[in-house]
Amino acid sequence: ADQDVAVAKYDVSSILYPSFNSALDGMSTDIYFQGCKFNCEGCHNPALKGFGEGNYTAGQLVKIIKEKSAGIITLMGGEPLHRPHMGYLLGLLKGLHRPLSLFTGYELDGIEPGILKLLDYVKTGKYDCNSKTPVGSFLASSNQVFWKKDGCGKWVVHWSTQKGCEQIERNI
């Protein structure tokens, strides 16, 4: 089974570097994964909804990220957590000793604790076309929240459309 995980393929649409799209704390490398099962009305990124067979192994992705990027590593899509073995890939990326960020439609308490443990930032909340933010906004809809793990391992709101950078702690 471990060998299956090591050779599993991840369906990546694109890797953007450098990017300032996904990080409030500097430059990032954004990995866009294909596939999402949420089926949000007015999907924010419809080109990434469909699932494919996969085009990169975890090892290939880590090699690309290690050689061609710096800063925060952001996994987005589609929905990265709808891909199998994402915890395995996150564990390998954590070994690069760079901050890890995940953009997901899940709420913080809907993310597996083992995955949360590996992350430094998380954007939570499904896209809501009825709460769409203006073009150029950091979050696509106002129900979404960008969390940052503090020095004690607690999740605090780093940015929300409604709260700005107000510090709200969340123990998960």
What's the confidence (pLDDT) of residue 58?
Answer: 94
Which of the four pLDDT bands, split at 50, 70 and 90, describes residue 104?
very high
Q: Is 102 within 8 Å of 74 (Cβ atoms)?
A: yes
**Percent of the chain with pLDDT strictly greater than 70:** 89
Q: Is 142 within 8 Å of 126 (Cβ atoms)?
A: no
pLDDT single digits (tens) 108-130: 999 999 999 999 999 999 999 99
What's the confidence (pLDDT) of residue 167?
Answer: 47
Residue type, 104: T
